[in-house]
Structure 1
Amino acid sequence: MEFLCATCDMEAHKRNIFHDREAVFNGFLEPIPPTTSVVVDENGQPQFCEQICQLPVPTPRSICECSDDVTVTPWKHISVVPINGRYNVCLPRKSCPSCSAEWTPEVKDLLLYRYWPASTSCQTLYKYDVFTSLEHMKVTAPAVSRQAFLKMLEHRSVQAGRTGIICADTFQRSFLEFSFCQYKQEDMCQVHHLVCPACSPDMWAVCCDGNRKHYRFSKSKGTEEPPIYEGLFLAKDEEVATFVDLVRGNMKSGNDSAVCGTAKFTAGREM
């Protein structure tokens, strides 16, 4: 019984190269890589055949003033890393046979369709969803490392029959560049995450999360070094002490032994 149409596979997969496919061959369910198509031979048996996948980037309608039909052909080979792992594809090239005019996607074209180039040569591209997924995972699960995230992407690639090697250093550098550009974009749009909407524009204080274990640094070695972000991101100790004394000076004295519920920890005191 045939479960895969070779003609439909070639036509549909050219438009959806990021789809993962599987088929039963010789009694085994095997993944079909994007660079492989299924054709039917003279005996009516399905066979594997190599094919070239182009990156789904729309080409401009016209690249010259000629009336001849332009052709779209594969250009250089690159690797694309979306959330499902690595794909080996080709960049498209549009050329005119009359005037020899050519068009190839530039960096601005790739950024427009949410592809982040790892270098100016665009040998490796990352989809935006990879970086945003890593950001969301670091927020919800801070213990998840970058290496574990890349191992997950490589595992997805291998499970789908694709090449799973992803350079960790290139991914880290591209992710930092992406994060910095996102910060600059939010800064231009006047988005400030450290501003409290309840008490802005005059904020009383910005407190760091106590679960970050900042108190442990005071007991560890190497604390004599000057802080890097003193007064910029974290307030100075003298300013904090002055502010705390000002608040406590306007507070009514209470019972120091009062605790929140049945807690016996110092952090549970109402004071």
Structure 2
Amino acid sequence: MGCPTDEPVSSHWKDSQASTLEKWTVLRPFMVSYMLSSEKPKDDVCQQCSSAVAMCRDCLPRPLYCAACDLAIHEDKVLHNRASITEGFFRQLPPSTHIKENEGGKFSYYEKECFLPVMLPCCDCSSGKISIFVGNQVILIGMNGRYNLYLPSISCSCGKTWSVGISDLVESGYLPATVNFETVYAVDLFTTYEDLKITATGMSRQASVSMLEHRTKLFGRSGKICGDTMQTAFLEWTYAKFEVCQVQHFQCPACTPSMLAVAVDGNRKLYRFKSQQGPDGFFDGVFLAKNAEVSSFVDYIHGTIRHKPAKGRYGPGQWAAARESANKSASKIDEEGIEVAVCCHGVLLKALNMFRGEIFAYPLYLQKQLSTQTVQFFCTDVVCKYWPYLQRVVGHCPELQGLLNNENND
């Protein structure tokens, strides 16, 4: 069955599209036929010796192997996706399953321990002989799902022993998901997962886990993937990556270096109870401003502008949000929410924890933090309604005069 030859494509766009559609119509039956043919095992021989019994989808272009060659080549390449062809169809094989030929030319399957691929050390003795033993079980999660493997344990004839540590895992391209290395993740999975979170923000973590579990079954392996463990490992990797590369996630590529507008508003739903326990945040001051710095700024505003203990006033009216002397919440809530600044594209720029409700000093602090950037408009529900009050407040604070000196700010 032959494939139709290419023909010159018309330079006119409409004719070109019609010609392309016509060619796809002709090619479509050939593609279906060839796809069906490729999924049927062929009676063939190993590329090096006897009759083939297995096919590898990662040793491109899909070479065939006999039982001996399959074992020799894939003993170290345990992450390759293999399939048996001894039953007249492709049967997906996990890394631990291999094929042997019995008497009479019949084939059977047997299991063999597979080691996590890591960089093995060399003993500094001159005459020692290295021996590798089966260590603890380990679960590897990669782009093709879950692998059930073992950590290698090495001993030398000179008496020295070695076991896998955190340095060996990181240098080999893995990141531990548990402190005892029961589960490790391939770093390339996290880079892809991060790209998906940025480009497809609606994709949930559970959807990613479900996709990995589907690929696990697709290639003949088994086992569940814990979403909470994946989230923990991903956050640890993100923190380490930030410390190493100082990645700036809170900058808008479209707005840099000049921003048209920044909008600030409070979110009272992102509160935290005083009884909630947990470690301090890893990215202190990177996105959420340090509480001590915000508190110092609020005290500075309070000490510069005197307020009545009730509501703040502007002219004949009262403004509840202007009561800078409001006390910290006495309820069970610690943080009452967060105040967030975003650009016109919705990219998060800076935020702070609210301990006193939406007082005026909070958006003023964020404006002060973003004043080093070129922003034409700074918009908040407070500033837009009470711009004269902002002028009066900043007029008493010499350090904040620069916020009003720019005639582009509104």
TM-score bin (small chain)? 0.7 to 0.9
Residue 132 (structure 2) pairs with residue 72 (structure 1): yes
**Amino acid in structure 1 at the alignment position of 2:141:** V
Contact kept, 8 Å, 1:24 with 1:30, in 2: the verdict is yes
Asked if the contact 1:55/1:92 (under 8 Å) is kept, the reply is yes
Counterpart of 1:170 in structure 2 is 229
Deviation at 1:25, TM superposition (A): 3.7
Does the residue aligned with 1:78 lie in a helix, a strand or coil? Answer: strand
SS at match of 1:37: strand
Contact 1:86 1:162 survives alignment (8 Å): yes
Are the aligned partners of 2:82 and 2:94 in contact in 1 as well (CA < 8 Å)?
yes
Distance 2:199 2:129 in 1: 52
Return the offset for 1:195.
5.6
Distance 1:54 1:121, change over 3 A: same
Unaligned runs of 5+ in 2: 1-42, 44-50, 54-65, 272-320, 322-334, 342-348, 353-361, 368-377, 388-403
Report the Cα distance in structure 2 between the residues aligned to 1:49 and 1:102, rounded to whole angstroms.
Answer: 30
Identity of aligned residues (%): 32
Q: Deviations over 1:172-226 (max 9, x none)?
A: 1111111122222233xxx5454689976xx777747xxxxx98x88x9899985
2:197 pairs with 1:138? yes
What SS does the aligned partner of 2:185 have? strand
User: Residue 98 of structure 2 aligns to which amino acid in structure 1?
Assistant: S
8 A contact 1:107–1:120 mirrored in 2: no
1:79-118 matches, cutoff 5 A: 79-99=139-159, 101-118=160-177
Q: Which runs of 5+ in 1 are unaligned?
A: 209-213, 252-271
> Higher Cα Rg: structure 1 or 2?
2
Instruction: Indicate the structure whose relative CO is greater, using CA pairs within 8 Å and at least 6 residues apart.
Output: 1
Q: Find the counterpart in structure 1 of residue 22 from structure 2.
A: none
Aligned to 1:3: 52
Q: Note the aligned Cα RMSD (angstroms).
A: 3.5
- Look up the equivalent residue of 2:80 and give its one-letter code: H
- Per the normalisation by structure 1, the TM-score is 0.74
Question: Does the aligned pair in 2 maintain the 1:41–1:47 contact within 8 Å?
Answer: yes
Of 25, 33, 36, 2:94 maps to 33
> 1:233 corresponds to which letter in structure 2?
K
Greater fraction strand: 2
Aligned pairs (5 A) from 1:1-271: 1=43, 2-4=51-53, 5-62=66-123, 65=125, 67-99=127-159, 101-187=160-246, 191-194=247-250, 207=262, 226-229=336-339, 233-234=350-351, 236-238=362-364, 239=367, 240=378
User: How many Å separate the matches in 2 of 1:95 and 1:17?
Assistant: 22
* Cα distance, 1:103 vs structure 2: 0.7
Looking at structure 1, the residues matched to 252 and 231 of structure 2 have their Cα atoms a distance apart, in angstroms, of 31
For the structure 1 residues 48 and 206, does the alpha-carbon distance in structure 2 shift closer, same or farther, using more than 3 Å as the test?
farther
Give the partner amino acid of 1:20. N
